[in-house]
Structure 1
Amino acid sequence: MPSKSASAKPSPLSKPDFEALSDFRYQLRRFLRFSEDAARDEGVTVQQYLLMLHIRGCAGKDWASIGELAERLQAKQHGVVALVNRCEAAGLVKRKLNTEDRRVVQVHLLAKGERCLNRLAMLHRTELESLRGTFRVARITAFNDDEAERD
């Protein structure tokens, strides 16, 4: 049986709701622009930076598979293969076959990629810290109405 909130018509958004959503998208876009500029200044693309970040950030291991990278980047596997090719040509990453499952290609960071990633990640952390408190939490009226019904 559908829940009451699933069948109920959502409340229209208020002017403050639109202002909060607009501000959130603006701050998010500012951060993304910062990221684009920082990557370009480092001599890589944003996608190359994200690929390196997701390799380093892969839980429990120091490599990532093409499939894991495709999921994290929200990209098609063949696009990720092309991106890995470009990163490999730039000396940022290398591929290895997984000894346990030869169908899996492991993508590892090389020393040049580690140095590049570390510089960019530190810049991104500093930028995120400078944004602390600037994101207003959007309290959308429709969600508030649902919460009020539960109380």
Structure 2
Amino acid sequence: MAETSDLTKEDYQRLAHFRYRLRCFLRLSESLCQESGITPLQYQLLLQLKGGLGREWASIGELAEQLQAKHHGVVALVDRCVKAGMVERRAGREDRRQVEVHLLPAGDRLVRRIAMLHQDELKLLREEFAAPGWLPAQ
């Protein structure tokens, strides 16, 4: 790990700017979720089911890892999403003791709509961070 004396002013500026843009993206995402009637964490769960693992279902353990959350917290989150009709639990295909969480049509429509609303901001971020040095003009 680099010592603090190894960092330049530009390193700090880059990190500060990245954190700023990340927070702007998250605030936009939070607003889009709230306007769509779900929490940002519910959206993140739906997004992981739709695109996180190359399939449209995940185990509770996989979701806990992807959401960086505790297992019991993800169980409660899945419970709320089941109650809202966005996902369902199914017994595991290979291990019946494992629970698979699957998107339902209502959850699929919701995650698609919210993801589409993120695309303009993602395009701006891709362009900004692809630029050499990606620091804003002073």
* TM bucket normalised to smaller: 0.7 to 0.9
Once residues 9 and 30 of structure 1 are traced to their aligned partners in structure 2, the CA distance between those partners, rounded to angstroms, is 29
Once residues 4 and 49 of structure 2 are traced to their aligned partners in structure 1, the CA distance between those partners, rounded to angstroms, is 40
Once residues 9 and 109 of structure 1 are traced to their aligned partners in structure 2, the CA distance between those partners, rounded to angstroms, is 46
Once residues 43 and 21 of structure 1 are traced to their aligned partners in structure 2, the CA distance between those partners, rounded to angstroms, is 33
Instruction: Name segments (4+ residues, structure 1) moved above 6 Å.
Output: 136-139
TM-score by length of 2: 0.86
Residue in 1 aligned with 2:45? Answer: 51
In the alignment, is residue 63 of structure 1 matched against residue 53 of structure 2?
no
Residue in 2 aligned with 1:88? Answer: 82
Residue in 2 aligned with 1:75? Answer: 69
Unaligned 5+ segments in structure 1 are: 1-5, 140-151
Deviations 1:109-141 (A, max 9, x none): 1111011000011112222012333337769xx
Equivalenced residue count is: 133
The verdict on how the C-alpha distance between 1:21 and 1:99 changes in structure 2, with shifts beyond 3 A counting, is closer
The verdict on how the C-alpha distance between 1:20 and 1:42 changes in structure 2, with shifts beyond 3 A counting, is same
Contact 1:21 1:138 in 2 (8 A): no
Once residues 9 and 15 of structure 1 are traced to their aligned partners in structure 2, the CA distance between those partners, rounded to angstroms, is 14
The verdict on how the C-alpha distance between 1:137 and 1:29 changes in structure 2, with shifts beyond 3 A counting, is farther
Residue in 2 aligned with 1:99? Answer: 93
Residue in 2 aligned with 1:118? Answer: 112
* Percent of aligned pairs sharing the same letter: 53
Q: Highest Rg: 1 or 2?
A: 1
TM-score by length of 1: 0.79
Secondary structure, in 3 states, of the residue corresponding to 2:128?
A: coil
Which of the pair has the greater relative contact order for Cα pairs under 8 Å at 6+ separation? 1
Alignment RMSD (CA, Å): 2.1
CA displacement at 1:100 relative to structure 2: 2.1
Residue from 26, 29, 32 that aligns with 2:20: 26
